[in-house]
Amino acid sequence: MLFNSIEFLIFFPIVICVYFILPKKFKQLWLLIASYYFYMCWNAKYALLLLFSTVVTFCSGLMLEKAKHIEAGEKDKKKILNAIVAGSFILNLAVLFFFKYTNFALQALSGFLSRALYIYIDVPVFDIVLPVGISFYTFQALSYTMDVYRNEIYAEKNFIRYALFVSFFPQLVAGPIERSKNLLKQLNVPKKFCFENFREGLLLMLWGYFLKVVIADRIAVFVDTVYNDYATYAGWYLIIATMLFAVQIYCDFYGYSSIAVGTAKVLGIKLMENFNAPYFSATVSQFWRNWHISLTSWFRDYLYIPLGGNCSNIAKYGKVGNTDEIKANYDTKVGIIEQYRDIFITIVGGGANYRRIRKYLNKIIVFLVSGLWHGADFSYIAWGGINGLYQVIGEMLQPVRDKAVSVLKLNRDSIGHRLAKIFVTFALIDFSWIFFRASGISDAIMIIKSIFTVRNPWILFDGSLYKCGLDIKNFHLMIISIAVLAFADLCKCRNIRLRDVIIRQDYWFRWIFVAAAVTFILTFGIWGANYNAANFIYFQF
Amino acid sequence: MWEKLKKIISCVIAAAVTISMLGYMTDLLERKDSDLKYQDFFDQDEEFDVLFMGTSHVINAVYPMELWKDYGIVSYNFGGHSNQFATTYWVMENALDYTKPKLMVIDCLTLSGAWKCSDIFSYMHLSLDAFPLSVTKVRAVWDLLDDPVLQEAIDNGKARESDEPRTKIGLLWDYSAYHSRWNEVKESDFNPVPQREKGAESRINLVQAGFNKIPREKKIEGGTVGEEYLCRMIEDCQRRNIEVLLTYLPFPAGEGQQMEANRVYDIAEKYGVDYINFLDLDIVNYGVDCFDANSHLNPSGARKVTKYLGQYITEHYGIEDKRSNADYEFWDTDYSEYEAMKDSNIKAQSSIVNYPMLLSGDKINVIIEVRNKDIFKNQLMLNLFRNMGVNTDELGDNTDIILIKNGGEKAWVFNDFKASGGSADTELGRIYISGERNGYYDIMLNERKIFEGNINENNCMKIAVYRSGEPIDNVKFVYSVNPETTIVNVASVER
């Protein structure tokens, strides 16, 4: 069921009405039933995978809780706890791997064998349908295992509540990837109807629908036209399409997240914000702190830090230049395999070099994994790698940049300087989106080549842009809508909450605003029978 | 408590304002075709006596306004483009939610059809959009879109690819389909011009066609989806005490369609209802009455069919003549607008073939002055003159003036007009030609100048059209006729 489908507009009012009417003890069960129904609208049998993940992580939580209290030595206890966590991760990731990466892995292996060893194998392509949202709920469930392991929460003993935590329909298929600390705690307390939550939730949903059906789906028409025939639409067509794709994917995902957060808000549940005006970021690392926050923070907490993070723990325990001590003091809980570390330390030497290079490597690893999480294709890995490299290179060049600012006497606080940084950051991020949007690495390379070699700037002025799937009226509406988004993000940067501004207005203004917003979205949105409803881009992850 | 009440009121008002805005936008953005077709039906509080059901053949062949003018029959044309029988059934069911007619005329084209609705989905919108949301409409949409046979045909490429996605919601809430028309909105969306054809549609063109009759014994097997729904229609009408008349309207039918028409005799007999198979009758002239080669009638053919049906219905079903009923006076007003539409159709014509076709059977008087007599060598033109009641045996190189009363009720041909005195008395009045002055002359009817001409002008035909004594159009076709092929080439049309 899509948020932008008629089915959801029928489903959601029924869910909230029944939820608030039911006695407290049935509320969670009702939401669980609704969530599974929501998921099963796509593919009923794949709900079994969701249930499998839920059962495995629920049991692992209980086992971890029990193992913490068994009478055994710390070392043995640790081994047992590690074994349980490993079991939970292996089972969940095996399912994820099978459904998402089997074909990719086989193709990659075949490619490697044929290119490196001249061994040619006819690899079959399995017809495996990717379960919707599997990456999201798997990561959410695994975070619970880790949180119990790390003593950040107690294991949940109520299976229905836990199953609801994994399958909570607003964020089930495309996030935000919630933490057990936040969501499980809220699910513990059945909610009463709250008008303020209802109003704020609806406003958030309206904003989400605006982003999705008015902006993202309109831009998609243009971008698809250009990218699907990049040989014809060369040069500046591709530049414009790539810039618009940056907005499309933002609106698509931010739109989904807003609807999800708003939906949960109506039910009295507060989900984390997933975006914070990312395209106003002045650096790539700031962009990643503001983009898909729930996933970025997941990788930070459950991958980057275990890998060693910024290696601050080494700095804390180690002594610069003393590789033995570093090795001895390094926290094995978050470490990587011993052999790798030994070799690495031997190569790069100890101390500052080690910390710096480890940090760079960790970043690259995290972004490569993030790329792979987004899709089973080398183009996604390339996209992740490029973003990792941006950050590594950015940090490596920091002294040079500082020197340049100092020599040229630039004022870092000036609007011009800040705008330039925002522009450069956008350009860098946008460049990486080419790999995300293109059908594969080779297509991405062809598109980049076209962008840098074909000179046709006149298409910006002769009306050619209105022949790429959007007529002149739709094109102008798209530009106006993007301006509205930019204004809203600017307000966000300045800590102005537009929702609060609207809510503070007189009642008559609010009525007209809501009516006009609904009418605007329904009229100018790309939806309905005259249109083959596009899935949210992030569902495939 | 007051706070709670305030919040509830606030929500209700916000919802009401939203619904009002959406309602306005729905009316503004929807495609107007369906509303315009059914507008007069929904605007009328009084009952309709006769409803015509079927496909586009019905739309193009039966003119309710003519039935009103000639017989006082209050009827409505519910024919739908590309309707399959199941669609016709549901159109009838929806219509019967709003009126209770005395007679249901059902045309049986597509009886052999296996689909429930057209493969072109916009036709479904045309047939159903105007009906308000109701239980009947929901049942209709659910039934019509549950059509695995059509789906298989689409999947196999045996059906045309639909112009629009086939969705239930698109029919039940047409805003979901039409909201994207915001960039096409024109003045006509704000001020739609009402049609006064009561569901019919005059399609102006002329194609010469014909067909070979097959024996009545050759017919399709029963048990088709189309027949199933036809039987449901008849049974439902009989349950509601509505009389049923089955028809098979005339067109150049293929063998399969004639077999359909022959099968209907059995169904009519089974249910004890009347059946008019126009394929067996000599009502229309396929040489001048077809709009296109394979199916529809033009206004000339439609007027003949309408006249026949009017007589038949009046004689067999005792439908009350409502022309003197004060409650139906507004039909006269509508008829005036309908006449104005017909007049504008005539004035818009620049085809030397379509023009005389349009004049046939209409309640108009026509005066034709023929200067280029070669036109009588063309068989189609002769057919068209015959279609207007002219005795073509009288036409020849010495024909000057032709007078036509009431679109063909009576006609006068004046040969050697000037030579024989230049004046004559007819039922339309006295026609005469003035004396020549500097090479020019006038042709007058009842003291009114009809044509002004040059005596050397031998390359044209002039036509003047009058309705109720008032001039509608005065046109001059300048043409030449190929001596070998007799094809008429029009050089210009002057008004």
**DSSP-derived 3-state class of residue A275:** coil
**Closest residue in A to B172 (Cα–Cα):** A529
A-chain CB neighbours of B178 within 8 Å are 530
Residue B229, pLDDT > 80, answer yes
Residue B140's CB is within 10 A of a number of other CB atoms, namely: 26
Q: For chain A, which residues make up each domain, given as ranges?
A: 28-190, 196-275+454-536, 299-434
**Under an 8 A CB cutoff, do A518 and B29 touch?**
no
Q: What is the largest CA-CA distance in chain B?
A: 101
Closest CA to A103 of A375, A292, A430, A365: A375
Test the A interface: residue of B10, B12, B17 with most A CBs within 10 Å = B17
pTM: 0.80
Interface check B29 vs A, CB under 8 A = yes
Compute the count of residue pairs across chains A and B with CB atoms less than 8 Å apart: 71
Distance from CA of A113 to the nearest CA of B (A): 41
**Under an 8 A CB cutoff, do B175 and A525 touch?**
no
**Of residues B29, B165, B169, nearest to A532 (C-beta):** B165
Q: Could you tell me which residues are beta bridge partners of residue B466?
A: B365, B471
pLDDT at residue number A325: 46
Test the B interface: residue of A6, A205, A506, A523 with most B CBs within 10 Å = A523
Q: Give the pLDDT confidence of B401-439 residue by residue, as tens digits.
A: 888 888 888 888 888 877 766 788 888 888 888 877 777
pLDDT at residue number B122: 85
Average pLDDT of the segment spanning B107-128: 90
Cβ burial of B260 (10 Å; 0-12, 13-18, 19+) is: buried
User: Which run of H or of E encompasses B423?
Assistant: strand B423-426
pLDDT at residue number A319: 39
Interface check B7 vs A, CB under 8 A = yes
pLDDT at residue number B170: 86
pLDDT at residue number A311: 61
Q: Could you report the predicted ipTM of this complex, rounded to two decimals?
A: 0.74
Distance from CA of A519 to the nearest CA of B (A): 6
A-chain CB neighbours of B175 within 8 Å are 522, 528
A138-174 core/surface letters (b: 16 or more CB in 10 A; e: else): bbbbbbbbbbbbeeebebbeeeebbbbbbbbbbbbbb
Q: Give the pLDDT confidence of B336-374 residue by residue, as tens digits.
A: 999 999 999 999 999 999 999 999 888 899 999 888 888
A-chain CB neighbours of B13 within 8 Å are 511
**Under an 8 A CB cutoff, do A519 and B21 touch?**
yes
**Under an 8 A CB cutoff, do B175 and A512 touch?**
no
User: Which run of H or of E encompasses B332?
Assistant: helix B330-347
Q: For chain B, which residues make up each domain, given as ranges?
A: 31-344, 352-494
**Closest residue in A to B26 (Cα–Cα):** A523
Interface check A525 vs B, CB under 8 A = yes
**Under an 8 A CB cutoff, do A528 and B13 touch?**
no
**Of residues A510, A525, A529, nearest to B165 (C-beta):** A529
Pinpoint the alpha helices (H) of A150-216. 159-167, 180-188, 195-209
Averages of pLDDT over each 10 residues, chain A, 541 residues: 83 93 89 93 88 94 88 82 91 88 80 77 72 87 91 90 92 86 85 87 94 94 94 93 95 93 93 92 92 90 80 44 46 48 58 76 89 86 92 88 86 88 94 92 93 91 91 94 95 89 86 91 83 43 45
Distance from CA of B44 to the nearest CA of A (A): 31
**Under an 8 A CB cutoff, do A523 and B29 touch?**
yes
Distance from CA of B336 to the nearest CA of A (A): 38
Q: What is the C-alpha separation between B82 and B92, in angstroms, rounded?
A: 15
Out of 3.30.70.2190, 3.40.50.1110, 3.40.50.720, 3.30.1490.20, which CATH number does the structure's domain B31-344 have? 3.40.50.1110
Average pLDDT of chain B is: 90
The token duo for A87 is: 């079991």
Interface check A7 vs B, CB under 8 A = no
**Of residues B14, B22, B175, nearest to A511 (C-beta):** B14
Q: How far is CA B270 from CA B85, B110, B222, B273, B420, in A?
A: 18, 19, 12, 8, 63
**Under an 8 A CB cutoff, do B20 and A515 touch?**
yes
pLDDT at residue number B340: 93
pLDDT at residue number B132: 93
DSSP state of B83: -
**Under an 8 A CB cutoff, do B182 and A524 touch?**
yes
Q: How far is CA B383 from CA B48, B358, B408, B476, in A?
A: 37, 13, 13, 20
DSSP state of B432: E
